[in-house]
């Protein structure tokens, strides 16, 4: 099928590439000419394992352009995968969605299904349909379907090609049939529902996962107080298939481009409709506090950080991505810098983006070991494999004072016991040497 995709961020580009992988002819559209030129050379603008390989493999079916008329003119289906950033009040900014919708309506010369893949508040698809129908060329019928994505960064390709489910929200059978054809060769169950339910499935799913994380983080904090071990507690809970063993990893809170934004957006929408979601409000509050956990713990060892050398391992909000959006490191490192600490940081892919925030204030190290050299304190923000591979000897022999505060529980407690390292992690016994 002839398909176009508006937006080449995580959602748009991964969707386009995976549709091409299943034999469709896909044109990816973006306003950024430099980005388009790079993609035409087979270079992905984002760090996502497996993406460039698929871009190259399917290059005969993949096109990149800034020309919206050319892309949308004769497409059978156009996906909207542009960003819906957070406004100051927490609500979703839909300006790019509407902009794309207008461009599609202005260009489409044949009947076409406009598919909203961006995460949008409940009711948005209706507004998009009203807009595209009003602006469509005479004789052209445009219909709108909701098709939320459930991809996670770092596993985006697999999450799309082997999706847990494909949700299709439509008001007319014909659009549903068109989308079934789009996804004919995908290996995933398909749920067809109305548009508002599809929009809600996306928010309810993301917010539930965020709630699960905040819940386990609160339980972890209590474990520290009462002497229980969160790893065992989570394992014990996870055996119950009603609870499930995923997303029970305690840590320093969720970051990224989805959970923080989608919890706030749904909470805003609920309050706006006089229907406060207390669980989601609590989820957000717990998460904001949890992000400060490492610095709070560090104050047990040092009153302030002035004159200290602090090793920071991991900058991104999770491993497998160079994305820093809402990363806990972004709220903690400024506190260290305000105190005039010397910060030595290591991250395998996040440094380039971090440099944009802190070009000179931080020393970026080529290896985690070098970050540890001479440090008085080590803070672990991201569980990269290279961090997990460090041994107690790395901390003991390289640091001036081996105090390790681990926000991602990278090491079994047993491995740290009796090793001459003070090891303080989340929801577990503190090892003081």
Binding site for ligand UDX (CB under 6 A): 149-153, 206, 209, 213, 247-249, 251, 254-256, 258-259, 317-318
Residue with tokens 């499935």: 201
Which is nearer to ligand UDX, 306 or 388 (by Cβ)? 388
Whether 69 sits among the annotated catalytic residues: the reply is: no
Instruction: Give the nearest distance from C-beta 254 to ligand UDX in angstroms.
Output: 3
The neighbour count for residue 237, using CB atoms within 10 Å, is: 16
Which is nearer to ligand UDX, 163 or 192 (by Cβ)? 163
Distance CA 133, CA 139 (A): 11
**Residue 27 DSSP SS3:** strand
Instruction: Give the nearest distance from C-beta 394 to ligand UDX in angstroms.
Output: 23
CA distances (Å), origin 140, targets 4, 80, 92, 177: 17, 19, 30, 19
Instruction: Give the nearest distance from C-beta 319 to ligand UDX in angstroms.
Output: 8
Distance CA 185, CA 19 (A): 10
Active-site annotation holder among 18, 28, 258, 410: 258
Exposure string (b/e) for 113-150, b if CB count within 10 Å is 16 or more? bbbbbbbbbbebbebbbebbeeebeeeeebbbbbbbbb
Which is nearer to ligand UDX, 132 or 250 (by Cβ)? 250
Distance CA 245, CA 343 (A): 36
Which is nearer to ligand UDX, 318 or 342 (by Cβ)? 318
Which is nearer to ligand UDX, 3 or 11 (by Cβ)? 11
CA nearest to 131, candidates 100, 109, 172: 100
Instruction: Give the nearest distance from C-beta 118 to ligand UDX in angstroms.
Output: 11
Instruction: Give the nearest distance from C-beta 246 to ligand UDX in angstroms.
Output: 7
Q: What is the DSSP letter of 406?
A: E
Instruction: Give the nearest distance from C-beta 136 to ligand UDX in angstroms.
Output: 30
**Cβ-contact 71, 4 below 8 angstroms:** yes
**Residue 335 DSSP SS3:** helix
175: which 2 tokens?
Answer: 């659009």
205: which 2 tokens?
Answer: 């799913």
**Residue 134 DSSP SS3:** helix
The DSSP secondary structure of 140-178, one letter per residue, reads --EEEEE------TTSHHHHHHT-S-EEEE-SSHHHHHH
The neighbour count for residue 186, using CB atoms within 10 Å, is: 17
Instruction: Give the nearest distance from C-beta 25 to ligand UDX in angstroms.
Output: 26
Non-local (6+) Cβ contacts of 335 within 8 A are 295, 305
CA nearest to 290, candidates 320, 344, 340, 328: 328
Instruction: Give the nearest distance from C-beta 217 to ligand UDX in angstroms.
Output: 7
CA 212 to chain centre: 16
Distance CA 142, CA 45 (A): 31
Which is nearer to ligand UDX, 143 or 217 (by Cβ)? 217
Instruction: List residues with catalytic annotation.
Output: 258
């Amino acid at each position: 099928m002839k398909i176009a995709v508006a937006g080449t961020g995580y959602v748009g580009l991964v969707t386009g590439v995976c549709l091409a992988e299943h034999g469709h002819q896909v044109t990816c559209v973006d306003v950024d000419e430099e980005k388009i030129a790079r993609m035409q050379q087979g270079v992905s603008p984002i760090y996502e394992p497996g993406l460039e390989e698929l871009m190259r493999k399917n290059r005969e079916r993949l096109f990149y352009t800034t020309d919206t008329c050319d892309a949308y003119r004769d497409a059978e289906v156009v996906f909207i995968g542009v960003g819906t950033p957070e406004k100051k009040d927490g609500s979703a900014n839909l300006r790019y969605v509407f902009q794309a919708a207008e461009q599609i309506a202005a260009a489409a010369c044949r009947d076409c299904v406009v598919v909203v893949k961006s995460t949008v508040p409940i009711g948005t698809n209706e507004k998009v349909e009203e807009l595209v129908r009003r602006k469509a060329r005479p004789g052209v019928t445009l219909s709108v379907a909701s098709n939320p994505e459930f991809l996670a960064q770092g596993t985006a390709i697999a999450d799309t090609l082997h999706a847990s489910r494909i949700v299709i929200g439509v008001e007319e059978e014909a659009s549903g049939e068109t989308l079934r054809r789009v996804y004919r060769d995908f290996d995933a169950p398909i749920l067809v529902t109305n548009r508002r339910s599809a929009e809600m499935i996306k928010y309810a799913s993301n917010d539930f996962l965020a709630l699960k994380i905040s819940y386990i983080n609160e339980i972890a904090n209590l474990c520290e107080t009462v002497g229980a071990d969160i790893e065992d507690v989570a394992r014990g809970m996870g055996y119950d298939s009603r609870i499930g063993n995923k997303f029970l990893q305690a840590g320093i809170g969720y970051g990224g481009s989805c959970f923080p934004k989608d919890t706030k957006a749904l909470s805003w929408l609920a309050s706006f409709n006089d229907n406060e979601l207390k669980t989601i409000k609590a989820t957000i509050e717990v998460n904001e506090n949890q992000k400060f956990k490492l610095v709070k713990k560090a104050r047990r060892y040092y009153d302030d950080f002035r004159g200290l050398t602090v090793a920071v391992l991991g900058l991104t909000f999770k491993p497998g991505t160079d994305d820093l959006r809402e990363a806990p490191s972004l709220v903690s490192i400024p506190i260290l810098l305000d105190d005039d600490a010397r910060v030595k940081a290591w991250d395998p892919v996040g440094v380039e983006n971090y440099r944009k925030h802190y070009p000179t204030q931080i020393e970026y190290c080529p290896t985690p070991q070098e970050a540890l050299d001479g440090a008085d304190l080590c803070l672990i923000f991201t569980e990269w494999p290279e961090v997990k591979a460090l041994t107690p000897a790395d901390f003991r022999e390289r640091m001036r004072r081996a105090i390790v505060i681990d926000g991602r529980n990278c090491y079994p407690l047993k491995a740290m016991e009796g090793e001459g390292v003070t090891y303080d992690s989340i929801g577990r016994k503190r090892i003081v040497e």
